[in-house]
Amino acid sequence: MALSIRCATQTYICRRLTHSMRTRQQKNCVIANTIRCLSVVHGNINTLAPKVKKFVEENAALFQPDHIHICDGTEAEHTQLLSYMHKQGILKPLTKYENCWLSVTDPADVARVESKTVISTTEKRDSVPTPKEGVTGTLGRWLSPDDMEKAYQERLPGCMKEPVINNWPCNPEKTIIAHIPDRNEILSYGSGYGGNSLLGKKCFALRLGSILAKKEGWLAEHMLILGITNPKGQKKYIAAAFPSACGKTNLAMMNPTLPGYKMECVGDDIAWMRFDDEGRLRAINPEAGFFGVAPGTSMSTNPNAMLTIRKNTIFTNVAETSDGGFFWEGLEKETPNDVTITSWLGDKNWKKESGKPAAHPNSRFCTPASQCPIIDPDWESPKGVPIEAILFGGRRPQGVPLVYEAFNWQHGVFIGATMRSEATAAAEHKGKVVMHDPFAMRPFFGYNAGQYMAHWLKIGRTPNAKLPKIYHVNWFRKNTEGKFIWPGFGENSRVLDWIFRRVDGEDCARKTPIGLVPQNDALNLDGLKESVDMDELFRLPTDFWQNEVNEIKTYFDNQLPNDLPDEIASELNALKERVAKM
């Protein structure tokens, strides 16, 4: 196995894929050997900054890689690494497209593992809120520095000596995704799956990023960034936080059904935001590509994603067609009839009747953002784009209307703090249980979630700030037959149109106990093909909202008895009073 080092803003990241440890004796002998003969197969170790060079030398001695590759980021290197992985059997080409590859992971390594993701700080409370006595905390996991050291010792010595097993490097039993903020360090061991191993993504841009953001007065968020141009040619940008597999990529690339609208994508997963000198909240997307959910993606739901992934894309755990193409649930109508399908688990003549999915529900594509046909001209602007609305949302099968607007920033922060959503295949949770997911950040908080809420409240007090309006959206409400009431996808442009007009100051909202909703007929439904039960879509059942208030209260009492900001507690009381009068 090779040790590769790359540099991401201020942080030196080392992926440590590993299998077993050596005995101490063996280890010492191996360290001595490695120091004598470091085999650098690419790049020159002496050109590295002294600190980096030391890091490489020390860790090479510890991990025992066969050789060292110092990344230069060139196309030639990219091609070389692909062909290396092809030879190893980790990747195979999807010959129907240009430079597209399929990787099939070990079936035990298919999603993020929240249960094995930890933050290590001296003070536990810096990392996680203190739950009520007898209650297990669900807002992150903390590891003491001593236990962190033990975790290192148990995993790292000699870890790169072992061969790749099953064509896939992983060790699910010993997996750990650890963050040590004091050292700006990430240790990712035992998983090759996306969010566990693409360290610049959730580990750095969200977990360590949120810590930097708190220190420096900005926001690092699990949000898409979208440019919206209305039929008059006016343009606004929005950011939206939905939990994993709840629609960010789809909204970020949407094909609007409302005539005259144009959407442009800045990012689909992460936003870094801060106020500029004029008080506008500016957002950048810190990523170069999209790591998107494959199932459900098709020319009818997300044509822009389909056009993006036709070349230079790596697919993980999708199914393969006999003509060298990809397949997943949702592509039935777009796949030739005369091909056979090999499922992600290797069933060579997969049939729908098997009752098993062809592609893993969390199968994904990893593709360059620059290939997206609607990529925004400013998507790489270092200044960022000005955000005028922030959306929170999730999968709420019941009770939660299509859209509502917060009364003000503090109420908006409360809406973010009380987000809930059905679990999805993006992490290891089983079933469709509705989970709390504050700000869509539950798996990604780099520090105490209560302090995180306080940080959002503080951001709202920034002098001269033009605060974005805040919304909650729900594309996933179901009727009594269990069917989605709202068609979603491109039709969500109707909701964005209402938000756009609200941001422009149009008087088209009415007050309800939970927030402001569109006045009758204010949502533009012209040309909507399906008939939608709008009354059901916006109904606010009293018993549902009373229960929601109680549920939130219990959650806060259990999870944040000492860490919840007073403002959030008083917003909950205010909601309770309004709901009592429903």
Told to judge if 372 belongs to the known catalytic residues of this protein, a careful annotator would answer no
Question: What is the distance between the alpha carbons of residues 105 and 110, in angstroms, rounded to a whole number?
Answer: 7
Cβ closest to ligand GTP, residue 5 vs residue 387? 387
Interaction mask 256-275, ligand SPV, x per CB under 6 A: -------------x------
Measured from the CB atom, is 164 or 299 closer to ligand GTP?
299
9/427 Cα distance (integer angstroms):
27
Q: E-strand spans in 268-407? A: 271-275, 281-284, 289-293, 314-316, 319-321, 326-327, 341-342, 364-368, 385-393, 403-405
Window 414-453: residues binding ligand GTP (CB under 6 A): 426
Q: Does 437 bind Mn ion (CB under 5 A)?
A: no
Nearer to ligand GTP (CB atom), residue 264 or residue 269: 269
Direct distance between the N- and C-terminal alpha carbons of the chain, in angstroms, rounded to an integer: 63
Window 471 to 530, contacts with ligand GTP (CB under 6 A): 475-476, 484, 488-489, 492
x-or-dash string of contact with ligand SPV, 272-291, rule CB under 6 A: -------------------x
Count residues near ligand GTP (CB under 6 A). 22
In angstroms, what is the minimal distance from the CB of 197 to ligand SPV?
A: 9
**CA separation for the pair 220, 270 (Å, rounded):** 7
Told to check if 275 binds ligand GTP by CB under 6 A, we report no
The distance of closest approach from Cβ of residue 525 to ligand GTP in the complex, given in angstroms and rounded to an integer, is 16
* CA–CA distance, 218 with 214 (Å, rounded to integer): 6
Tell me the C-alpha to C-alpha distance, in Å, between residue 182 and each of 11, 148, 166, 179, 229: 12, 13, 36, 9, 43
Name the one range near ligand GTP by CB under 6 A: 74-82, 175-183, 237-245, 539-547: 237-245
Q: How far is the CB of 143 from ligand GTP (least distance, A)?
A: 25
Q: Do residues 179 and 213 touch, judged by C-beta distance below 8 A?
A: no
By CB under 6 A, is residue 314 in contact with ligand GTP? no
Report if residue 202 touches ligand SPV, rule: CB under 6 A. yes
Give the whole-angstrom CA distance, residue 82 versus residue 314: 10
Give the integer Cα–Cα distance in Å for 311 and 382: 27
Q: Yes or no: say if 578 and 513 are a contact pair by the CB < 8 Å rule.
A: yes
Residue 123 corresponds to which tokens in the numbers above? 């003070």
Selection from Mn ion, ligand SPV, ligand GTP, none that 195 binds (CB < 5 to 8 A by kind) is ligand SPV
Give 16 or 236: the residue with its C-beta nearer to ligand SPV.
Answer: 16
Q: Give the residue nearest to ligand SPV (CB).
A: 195
Cα 102 to Cα 167: distance, rounded to the nearest angstrom: 12
SS (H, E, C) 33-82: HHHHCCCEEECCHHHCCHHHHHHHHHHHHHHCCCEEEECCCCHHHHHHHH
Determine if 268 is a binding residue for Mn ion (CB under 5 A). no
Nearer of residues 288 and 580 to ligand GTP, judged by Cβ: 288
Segment interacting with ligand SPV (CB under 6 A) among 193-201, 328-336, 375-383, 547-555: 193-201
Q: Which is nearer to Mn ion, 265 or 568 (CB)?
A: 265
Q: Output 248 or 274, the one with its CB closest to ligand GTP.
A: 248
DSSP 169-238: ---GGG-EEEEEGGGTEEEEES--SHHHH-TIIIIIIIIIHHHHHHHHT-EEES-EEEEEE-TTS-EEEE
Q: Which of 109, 269, 320, 376 binds Mn ion (CB under 5 A)?
A: 269
| Window 212-251: contact mask with Mn ion (x via CB under 5 A) | --------------------------------x-------
Of residues 15 and 502, the one with the C-beta less far from ligand SPV: 15
Q: Which element (helix H / strand E) includes 518? A: strand 516-518
d(CA 342, CA 571): 52
Check 246, 265, 366, 372 and give the catalytic one: 246
The answer to whether residue 366 forms part of the interface with ligand SPV (CB under 6 A) is no
H or E element at residue 450: helix 449-459
Part in contact with ligand SPV (CB under 6 A); list of ranges 194-202, 295-303, 430-438, 564-572: 194-202
Query: How many whole angstroms separate alpha carbon 469 and alpha carbon 477?
Result: 23
Which of the ranges 74-82, 204-212, 247-255, 518-526 carries the binding residues for ligand GTP, by CB under 6 A? 247-255
The answer to whether residues 187 and 152 touch, using CB atoms and an 8 Å cutoff, is yes
**Spatial contact of 17 and 66, defined as CB atoms under 8 Å apart:** no
Phi-psi region of 373 (alpha: psi -120 to 50; beta: other; left: phi over 0): alpha
Any contact of residue 567 with Mn ion (CB under 5 A)?
no
List the beta bridge partners of residue 517: 510
- The span of 49-57, 95-103, 287-295, 513-521 binding ligand GTP (CB under 6 A) equals 287-295
Piece of the chain touching Mn ion by CB under 5 A; list 266-274, 302-310, 334-342, 530-538? 266-274
What's the distance, CA 407 to chain centroid? 28
| Interacting residues with ligand SPV between 399 and 458 (CB under 6 A) | 426
DSSP assignments along 116-155, one per residue? GEEE--SSHHHHS--PPTTPPP-S--B--HHHHHHHHHHH
Q: Is 296 in the site for ligand GTP (CB under 6 A)?
A: yes
- Residue 250 touches which of ligand GTP, ligand SPV, Mn ion, none (Cβ within 5-8 Å per kind): ligand GTP
Per rule CB under 6 A, is residue 155 in the interface with ligand SPV?
no
Stretch that binds ligand GTP, among 180-188, 294-302, 403-411, 556-564 (CB under 6 A): 294-302
Interface positions, 89-118, toward ligand SPV (CB under 6 A): 112
> What are the residue ranges of helices labelled H in 268-362?
303-308
- Interface residues with ligand SPV (CB under 6 A)? 112, 194-195, 201-202, 244, 269, 291, 426
- Interface residues with ligand GTP (CB under 6 A)? 242, 244-250, 268-269, 292-293, 295-296, 301, 426, 475-476, 484, 488-489, 492
Active site residues: 246
- Interface residues with Mn ion (CB under 5 A)? 244, 269
